[in-house]
Structure 1
Amino acid sequence: MNNNALKNIIYSIVLLLVMLLVYLYRQNQPLPEQSPDSSVRMVLTGTTMGTSYRIVYLDERRRDLQDGIDSLLAVFNRSLSTYIPDSEISRFNRADTLVFDLPYFLPVLEVSKEVFKNTGGAFDPTVGPLVNAWGFGPEGAERKDSLGIQQLLQRVGFDKVHFDESMAVKQQPDLYLDFSAIAKGYGVDVVAQYLSERGIAHYLVEIGGELSARGTNDAGEIWKVGISQPDEEGQANELYSIVALDNRGMATSGNYRNFYIRDGQKLSHTISPFTGYPVEHGLLSATVLAADCMTADAYATAMMVIGTEASIALQQQVPGLEIFLIYTDEVGNLQSYASDGLKPYLSFPQKNR
């Protein structure tokens, strides 16, 4: 064999080895992130639960799921809306027992019981009569002397509702359930599950400011949502901070817009189930992130009852919660607090830095 032939054989072997190494290298590399195509972005808007919804999802088949979602929410409201006379909750409020017909009543009872227990009763879906008495319910204001408040407090207590997998029973006949502090978050979860069951992996669901996000947006980025500036006269689009919502539910509760002033006193719509009176503390806004939006919604409501310091302590006791609080300090300055797990996902507009 001459030298040229030997060189050709060696060259061929080296070339094959190089090609093999390149092939093996490529096979062992992680697949590149595929940014979703903006042409598959679908946006749905509508109304439900006395508020609006906005749903953004990415679907290569460009399916319009509006009718299905609206039908789902209509059934959801037939279970939990106190504004529908023959809904399950309305029937329960008129009677002593309820046998469940729809799949929504039991889960909201279960989460309510858990949050009621973890917050020492700060989250209480039976506080409705007090909310109505202070003029924040559909029936308007009623008489609010100390005797009347004490009488209404006898009707409050979620531990007076007993339930199993098939029915709920009142331990006190005049008990009144109202899930308005948790229903929007639950509705978000119901819609999110509907999308997931149809193979949609990237979506952002918002109902009345409560949210759930999965996957990424059409730019391949984590969905980003805003927390409003807590000003009494602030506009809804004035943002205090921005959260990158990474596969979680998020809810915000606040006292800074829903209030009225009587006899020179500002009365908040958050009524304490402990005292029967509107709360008085510096916490203006509580944003909670959790695995699901229903849980986030309930804890955000509870935190507006217990105030800043107790909310920080609560977050540290309950696994899976992250919080962002906006409050006024002792001298009236606006301050904020973010839990450690939320800080990497939090940013601020330039003016709020």
Structure 2
Amino acid sequence: MNKMTGRRAFAGWSILLCISVGWHSRVSAQKLVEVSGQAQGTYFIVKYVSNDTTSLRPQIDSLFGVIDHSLSLYKPGSLINQFNEGNEVQMDEHMAYVIKRSLEISKSTNGAFDITVKPLVDAWGFGVHKPAAQHVPGPDTLKRILRYVGSKYLQVHGQTLVKRKKDVQIDCNGIAQGYTTDVIARFLQQKGITDYLVDVGGELAGSGKNHRGKIWTVGIETPAAIESPYPAQALLELNNKAITTSGNYRRFFEQGGTRFTHSINPSTGQALHSNIIAVTVMAKDAVTADGYDNALILMGVEKGLDFIRKHPEYGLDAYFIYKNKKGEITTAFSAGYSKIVLTR
């Protein structure tokens, strides 16, 4: 389930490339401002259109720092580490919101997304402290860990998060990076900026148009396994939407001829070794897309697309890249993607 643990605080990798192309051209007197750098173990790029070119870098850096103090497993003394090392923690607004959304998504996916997966992530060698060599954990180890994996072992009392079993530990990396993207987007909105594209390690949120008057467009990267002259598998418009990706072709290890990836099933404790290469999810905000992309990759192509059809209330669309029964790399996507995917 977890797609980010072991790389950084919530360092995201994604198969999304930022591309400033699109439709609806018009001339704009406003300027394109770009703020970029490194944070949370990954890159970030914030682009926005404004007459005011005053740098927002100090405030954006401050936002990253505040969220790190709340949710970073890599930051000693962070709220999430306090919880994992103890029995409860007083949450700040950031942690409280991420926990709330995590529990909601866990319930709606019957546990396919579950932040109590941390001990399993560690056991498979994808955690903060990486072993010299990864290997498949023994069945007894997984059975023992599964005794304290499950959202039912978390309780929220006001602003206090409490664990019902002492060995419960949480890892919010599968959703916190999307949340960070949303926080920066809201910050821009509070500054009166309505035309922007926020990219935190590949988790994106876009609104309005760029300085050329064109809707922000992003590309779904062509995985290295696919022989193609195009860097993008598909292009799509991103206006008042967010998009995130969970993939299995960059973080994995092989044992006995089987490739085990960092996507871990919270119910069985098993690392995913399926035919799915990646799933890109679009939603109204990045925290929603980020949480559900983990669950959808575990569901698989057919069940994932069926889940989206049956639950329009979640506002999800998904684009799967996978290997069919013949071993050929192909794609499948929900109905909403067919309306927004652009030709190259």
Q: Pick the TM interval, shorter chain.
A: 0.7 to 0.9
Aligned length: 315
| Residue number in structure 2 paired with 1:333 | 328
Shift in Å at residue 109 of structure 1?
0.9
| Residue number in structure 1 paired with 2:3 | none
* 1:231–1:257 contact (8 Å) kept in structure 2: no
- Residues 1:306 and 2:296 are matched in the alignment: no
- Residues 1:238 and 2:231 are matched in the alignment: yes
Letter in 2 for 1:130: L
- Residues 1:48 and 2:39 are matched in the alignment: yes
Distance in 1, matches of 2:234 and 2:255, equals: 32
Shift in Å at residue 338 of structure 1?
2.0
Distance in 2, matches of 1:306 and 1:90, equals: 30
Distance in 1, matches of 2:167 and 2:95, equals: 19
| Residue number in structure 1 paired with 2:49 | 58
| Residue number in structure 2 paired with 1:202 | 195
Select the residue among 107, 118, 136 that pairs with 2:108: 118
Select the residue among 170, 178, 192 that pairs with 1:185: 178
| Residue number in structure 2 paired with 1:75 | 66
Percent identity of the aligned residues? 33
Shift in Å at residue 165 of structure 1?
3.2
Distance in 1, matches of 2:159 and 2:143, equals: 33
Shift in Å at residue 326 of structure 1?
1.1
- Residues 1:151 and 2:144 are matched in the alignment: yes
**Largest Rg, 1 or 2:** 1
Distance in 1, matches of 2:194 and 2:141, equals: 51
| Residue number in structure 1 paired with 2:124 | 134
- Residues 150, 202 of structure 1: alpha-carbon distance in 2 compared, 3 angstrom cutoff: same
* 2:283–2:316 contact (8 Å) kept in structure 1: yes
Shift in Å at residue 233 of structure 1?
8.6
Letter in 2 for 1:96: N
Higher alpha-carbon deviation: 184-193 or 307-316 = 307-316
Shift in Å at residue 36 of structure 1?
5.9
Shift in Å at residue 234 of structure 1?
8.4
- Residues 91, 36 of structure 1: alpha-carbon distance in 2 compared, 3 angstrom cutoff: farther
**Partner SS state of residue 126, structure 1:** helix
* 1:261–1:267 contact (8 Å) kept in structure 2: yes
Larger RCO (CA within 8 A; separation ≥ 6): 2
Tell me, which stretches of 5 or more residues in structure 1 are unaligned?
A: 1-32
C-alpha RMSD over aligned residues: 1.9
Q: Deviations over 1:45-71 (max 9, x none)?
A: 111221110110011111210110001
Q: Deviations over 1:57-95 (max 9, x none)?
A: 011111210110001110111000011111110101111
**Partner SS state of residue 182, structure 1:** helix
- Residues 256, 335 of structure 1: alpha-carbon distance in 2 compared, 3 angstrom cutoff: same
- Residues 64, 115 of structure 1: alpha-carbon distance in 2 compared, 3 angstrom cutoff: same
**Partner SS state of residue 341, structure 1:** helix
- Residues 249, 36 of structure 1: alpha-carbon distance in 2 compared, 3 angstrom cutoff: farther
Structure 1 length-normalised TM:
0.85
Tell me, which stretches of 5 or more residues in structure 2 are unaligned?
A: 1-23
Give structure 1 regions of 4+ aligned residues with deviation exceeding 6 angstroms: none
**Partner SS state of residue 138, structure 1:** coil
| Residue number in structure 2 paired with 1:28 | none
- Residues 343, 298 of structure 1: alpha-carbon distance in 2 compared, 3 angstrom cutoff: same
Letter in 2 for 1:53: F
Distance in 1, matches of 2:138 and 2:60, equals: 45
Shift in Å at residue 296 of structure 1?
0.1
More helix by share: 1
Letter in 1 for 2:101: V
